[in-house]
Amino acid sequence: MISKTRLTAFAAVLLVGVVSVVVAGCGSSNDSSSTGASGGGETLTVGSDIPYPPFEQGKPGEYTGFDIELMEAIAEKIGRTAEFQDTSFETIFRDVAQGKFDAVISAATITPEREKAVAFSNPYYLSEQAVLVKEGSDIEGIEGLEGTTVGVQQGTTGQELAKEKASAAEVRPYPEGPDAVNALKAGTVEAVIIDAPVAANAVEKSGGVEIAEKVPTEEEYGIALAQGETGLLEEINQGLEEVEEDGTYAKIYKKWFKLEPPKEIFTLGEAAE
Amino acid sequence: MAEAMVRLEGVHKRFGDLEVLKGVDLHVAKGEVVCILGPSGSGKSTLLRCVNLLEPPEQGEIFLEGHDICKGPGSGTGESSWELDFVRQRVGMVFQQFNLFPHKTVLENVTLAPRQVLGKPRAEAESKAKALLERVGLGDKFQQYPERLSGGQQQRVAIARALAMEPRVMLFDEVTSALDPELVKEVLDTMRELAAEGMTMLVVTHEMGFAKEVGDQVVFMDGGVIVEQGKPADVLDHPREERTQKFLGRVLER
Amino acid sequence: MSEFFHQYFDFHIMGAHFSEVLEGFLKNLLLFAVVVVLALFWGLVLALIRQLPAGRKLIPLRGVTIAYIDVFRAIPLLIIILLISGGIPFLNFLPKDIRIPQWFGQPDPFWYGVLALTLVYGAYMAEVYRAGIEAVQGGQMEAARSLGMSHSQAMRHVIVPQAVTKIPAPMLNEMISLLKDTTLVSVVAYGESVLVGREVLAETFNSSAVMLAGLMFLVITLPAARLVDKLIARNQGKITRGAHIEVA
């Protein structure tokens, strides 16, 4: 005969198990994916490394940011509904190449290495890197990073730049961009090299940090797709063009960057060809 | 009247809600052998364990050589180290389960406490230990480990071990109950010799023969109180109380 | 299917990045080595305090210790690592050298990892010690005490030497867990093998380097697990009445 205590313990474990499954089940319908503006039609699963403000941020079901809104607008133009999924950055290209998502928008710079694995849309954003330091630091720019500890996000062009140009004593790769910024504020790294708009956002939103230098790397962000998806690629390029032409792009840009978008953006597609 | 070696007055002990000792008075004179009998649950082991403060009583007084070793009523956890040391260096105890230290040799078992507690130098402790072990008939077993010894032998080592601390009083808690019958005698013989040498002993036992031959006083306990006490011949052969009669009737049937 | 193998067992990638991953693995081992010594010691301290008999004046200390052990076994290790590395640098009343330690050439994530792992594994190890101590029969303590030994003398000469023999198997289990948990410190950018593996993953879009790191762990943890099984079997055999227990 099983003792009463044993029975109670077993029941408790079973209860915890059942509750967890139910909660997870209820949560997952909403958890890491959120449906964007409905353009009706098929969903377009879009992977993104969230958070990376101001490009992508927010809670599951309420994702927002420049990339998010841009993608939603493009999806509408091509008659699809964008559904976003949070994922980690270092696997994002492989994952879209494998078909885990239809597309990836994640402030991702178009690079030759990445182009070996994925196909990119026309560039949709012009970017550069910035050297972020603590307010009042006497580091003036990338030259001043010699011998210091520099934080970056794993797998980003910022990390590459740090390795190539910074002659840092240590380049520390963090899983998420904001982790690197936090480390900077804590003082465990002396500088962070990260996409300039993200740096600017950090300066404004979190305070205590400032941009020491902007490093014009002439990076262009693109939407990544699996290499065989030529049809979808064309559609997205088309959608992007339409969004740029009818002023939606400028609206979203102004909202997130408080500036007019630079004219070059609208000709990026042609330059790339 | 000479001061009793051990004197218990109004001793009460409870475990949680269960009161195990309900007011026990007992006098044990120097050199006396008191045998305590009773059914299980009567509190006899607990009584013994109060005397060396393994179980400090809640209420009542216990005097050892005239010193009150409890701090008085309500001192349940009176663990003043002075009192404990005083008590435990004067009172030795032998257990039903022997409780020898398995990781030490027989000799080491006997010398450990004198060296650590009394600070005796090794040579002195060892020669004394050897003498004691020979006295209990184990002179050839110094370097053995307890697991190699029979139950009777282990128990005799336990006795030697307790004696090494030069106690004034020895407590025996059913020390033959866990032994095979053929081994009981050797232990009882050792105890008999000890009694003959004048050791004050409190013995909880079922061995009626021993109680009759060696005991100076027999105490019968039941339900946490002393029901009857007196000379062995009186209590064992002519018990006055009904409960004693019943118990003895049952036991003697064995 | 072949894509599966390609993702995990691309030997070309494994070969190209072997020394990187190995260097990272050595960092796991270094972290492990430092923590294991500290945690074994810290765990023993905790266990001994916990064993103090109730009724002594040090009761508050014992209560605190029990609470400590419960809490640090209950909170996930990853959270502790994040709290320590995310919080300590901001404790401005501490000197910078302590807030952001760079001792012996090891960067601060290493030391945060040491602290977090020691705090947590100290608690686990304390429980192993406790189980070992409690497995020693109560009669031993009674016998020792009735011979006049104080609590600490009894612990030192009678209880702990016997407890020590019951400890190796479960303790080895904890140590294996510890080795594996050193990988969690990657979350604060300590350059150990998993972090390196993910770096390579980002570069090559392939997980083989991570698999390689896993294999390096197997080389150590598999034989260790076998050893634990053997120790346990051997001890079962030793549990005879009054067994002579060999004390190292």
- The three-state secondary structure class of A261 is coil
Element (H, E) at C184: none
Structure token digits, residue A46 = 């879009």
pLDDT surpassing 70 at residue C191: yes
Task: Encode A75-127 in three state secondary structure.
Answer: HHHCCCEEEEEECCHHHHHHHHHHCCCCEECCCCECCHHHHHHCEECCCCEEE
- The three-state secondary structure class of B22 is strand
Chain B residue nearest residue C145, CA to CA? B88
Burial environment of residue C214 by CB neighbours within 10 A (0 to 12, 13 to 18, 19 or more):
middle
A90 and C202 within 8 Å at the Cβ level: the answer is yes
**Chain A contact partners (≥3 CB pairs within 8 A):** C
Q: Contact, A120 vs A264, CB < 8 A? A: no
**Chain C contact partners (≥3 CB pairs within 8 A):** A, B
Structure token digits, residue B153 = 């032998």
The residues, any chain, with a CB within 8 Å of residue B106's CB and separated by 6 or more, are B100, B133, B138, B141, B142, B143, B144, B145, B146, B149, B157
Cβ atoms within 10 Å of C6's Cβ, excluding its own: 14
Local confidence band at C137 (pLDDT 50, 70, 90 cut-offs):
confident
Structure token digits, residue C74 = 């209950």
Q: How far is CA C185 from CA A8, A116, A125, C190, in A?
A: 37, 32, 35, 6
A154 and C86 within 8 Å at the Cβ level: the answer is no
Predicted confidence at residue C242, as pLDDT, reads 43
- Please give the backbone phi and psi of residue C123, each rounded to the nearest 5 degrees, phi first: -65, -45
Local confidence band at B81 (pLDDT 50, 70, 90 cut-offs):
low
Strands B33-37 and B217-222: parallel
* A187: contact with C, CB 8 A cutoff: yes
Dihedral (CA of A197, A198, A204, A207) sign: negative
Question: Which of B88, B102, B112 is closest, CB to CB, to C242?
Answer: B102
Cβ atoms within 10 Å of B50's Cβ, excluding its own: 24
* A53: contact with C, CB 8 A cutoff: no
pLDDT surpassing 70 at residue A37: no
How far apart (Å, rounded) are the C-alpha atoms in residues A248 and A269?
17
Chain A residue nearest residue C112, CA to CA? A188
Burial environment of residue C38 by CB neighbours within 10 A (0 to 12, 13 to 18, 19 or more):
middle
* C195: contact with A, CB 8 A cutoff: yes
Q: What angle do CA B95, B99, B103 make, to 5 degrees?
A: 165
Average pLDDT over residues C149-171: 88
How far apart (Å, rounded) are the C-alpha atoms in residues A51 and A49?
6
Residue in the structure block whose two tokens are 């007055």: B9
The residues, any chain, with a CB within 8 Å of residue A122's CB and separated by 6 or more, are A222, A237, A240, A241, A268, A269, A272
Predicted confidence at residue A60, as pLDDT, reads 87
C189 and A182 within 8 Å at the Cβ level: the answer is no
Average pLDDT over residues A60-76: 92
Q: Which residue has the higher pLDDT, A202 or B74?
A: A202
Residues of C in contact with B116 (CB under 8 A): 149, 153, 157
Q: Do A and B touch (≥3 CB pairs < 8 Å)? A: no
A90 and C107 within 8 Å at the Cβ level: the answer is no
Local confidence band at C238 (pLDDT 50, 70, 90 cut-offs):
low
pLDDT tens digit sequence for B195-243:
999 999 999 998 888 998 999 999 999 888 888 888 988 888 888 888 8
Question: Which of C149, C157, C242 is closest, CB to CB, to B147?
Answer: C242
Average pLDDT over residues B122-151: 92
A188 and C86 within 8 Å at the Cβ level: the answer is no
Among A127-131, B80-84, C103-107, name the one with the lowest average pLDDT. B80-84
pLDDT surpassing 60 at residue C205: yes
How far apart (Å, rounded) are the C-alpha atoms in residues B229 and B206?
16
Predicted confidence at residue A226, as pLDDT, reads 92
Chain B residue nearest residue C53, CA to CA? B79
Q: What is the DSSP letter of B2?
A: P
Average pLDDT over residues A98-116: 92
Predicted confidence at residue B78, as pLDDT, reads 46
Local confidence band at A39 (pLDDT 50, 70, 90 cut-offs):
low
A170 and C107 within 8 Å at the Cβ level: the answer is yes
Q: What are C's interface residues with B at a Cβ cutoff of 8 A?
A: 53, 55-56, 137, 139-140, 142-150, 153, 157-158, 161-162, 240-245, 247
B113 and C55 within 8 Å at the Cβ level: the answer is no
> What whole-number percentage of chain C has pLDDT above 90?
52
* B81: contact with C, CB 8 A cutoff: yes
B112 and C148 within 8 Å at the Cβ level: the answer is no
pLDDT tens digit sequence for B27-56:
998 999 999 988 888 888 999 988 888 888
CA distance C240 to chain A (A): 28
pLDDT surpassing 60 at residue B82: no
Average pLDDT over residues B84-102: 87
B92 and C137 within 8 Å at the Cβ level: the answer is no
Q: How far is CA A124 from CA A69, A249, A268, in A?
A: 13, 9, 7
Chain C residue nearest residue B144, CA to CA? C244
Q: Which residues of A123-153 are buried (b: 16+ CB within 10 A; e: fewer)?
A: bbbbbbbbbbbbeebebeebebbeebbbbbb
pLDDT tens digit sequence for C2-26:
778 888 898 998 999 999 999 999 9
pLDDT tens digit sequence for A183-225:
999 889 999 999 998 999 899 888 889 999 998 888 999 999 9
The pTM score is 0.74
* A208: contact with C, CB 8 A cutoff: no
